[in-house]
Amino acid sequence: MSKRRTHWRSDAARALTLLTGIPDPEAAIIACADDLLDEAGVTEPPVPLKMLASFQGVRAIEKADMQPSGRLIAMPRSGLAVSGGHIIQVNRAESPTRQNFTIAHEIAHTFFPAFQARPQTIEDEQTGDYSEDDDEEERLCDIGASALLLPERWLRPLAERREPSLAGLQDIAQTFRASVEATARSIAHLDVWPFALVVWEPGWRKADRHLAEAGQPIPAALRVSRAIASPSFGVYIPRNKSIAEDSSVYQAYQTQTPTSGLDRLTIGERTWELQAESAYSAYNRDGILQPRVISFLRPVRPAQSLDNAG
């Protein structure tokens, strides 16, 4: 989980704070999402995205054959009204839960004063993956999408009632009709559980990647593709970090079955002992099934490494 941004520089972020009177752009877009939920009278999850979109002038949500994850097609204004209403399109090939996040992301674009004053079509190559170094409006729309799809008012108490586990995370995600990764990001942001959700895929070290791509027989290791961690987890898991072949995580990859166990992960000069629950979760990319493992990690000794333990 990235640290909270402290400096926002874009006109979009500044305009949002002026519109809401809230100086922090993150808090401002979350307030916009909360106001929309209240205006629409939503009382429980899953949130009715189609209805929320209609309150923001969207007349239709369509699934389309396209490369981007989503698109907000702006209709021209006629006087004070929006002629015909806007249209949200989502990539038909993406999973239903990812489509839901994209719909919420496109709704969040309508919160910005520039869109309200002069609607223009917006195309999003991806949603849910914007970091602090990316476009600030897109980053804020991801935050707004999470606030719409996984509102804290229902997510926090639900997570607090559950023991941290992969099954618990999956159940909560199903309740909100969100992806496991999007749900993990929201729970990590709230820091309800000390945990990390790690996506592992076979790959090579940076030094070996070009050799493997050139056809040299260099075996791939199971490596971190993405990692989402709550602040209380206490361990930074870098991208492309490999896991040992004698781990329960690797066993899930080999056997394509769920596993659990105590695994050790060495990062730099420190070795951490972690309780791991893993599931094999292959996905389709360009018509080819790609192997992947998703792990729910909990620290056995929070924020304390084995080599320093007394």
- Encode pLDDT of 230-262 as tens digits: 999 988 999 999 999 999 999 999 999 999 999
Structural domain spans, the chain: 11-150, 194-308
How many other CB atoms are found less than 10 A from the CB of residue 289? 9
pLDDT value for 304 = 46
Q: What is the CATH number of domain 194-308?
A: 3.30.450.130
Q: Can you say how many angstroms the Cα of residue 199 is from the centroid of all Cα atoms in its chain?
A: 12
- Over 60: is that where the pLDDT of 106 sits? yes
How do residues 281-297 score in pLDDT, each as one tens digit? 998 877 788 999 999 99
Alpha carbon distance, N-terminus to C-terminus of the chain: 29
How do residues 16-65 score in pLDDT, each as one tens digit? 999 999 999 999 999 999 999 999 999 999 999 999 999 999 999 999 99
By the 10 Å C-beta count (0-12 exposed, 13-18 middle, 19+ buried), 153 is classed as middle
Residue 281 near residue 294, CB atoms below 8 Å? yes
Name the average pLDDT for the chain.
90
Rounded Cα–Cα distance for residues 272 and 70 (Å): 39
Q: How is domain 11-150 classified at the CATH fold level?
A: Arc Repressor Mutant, subunit A (1.10.10)
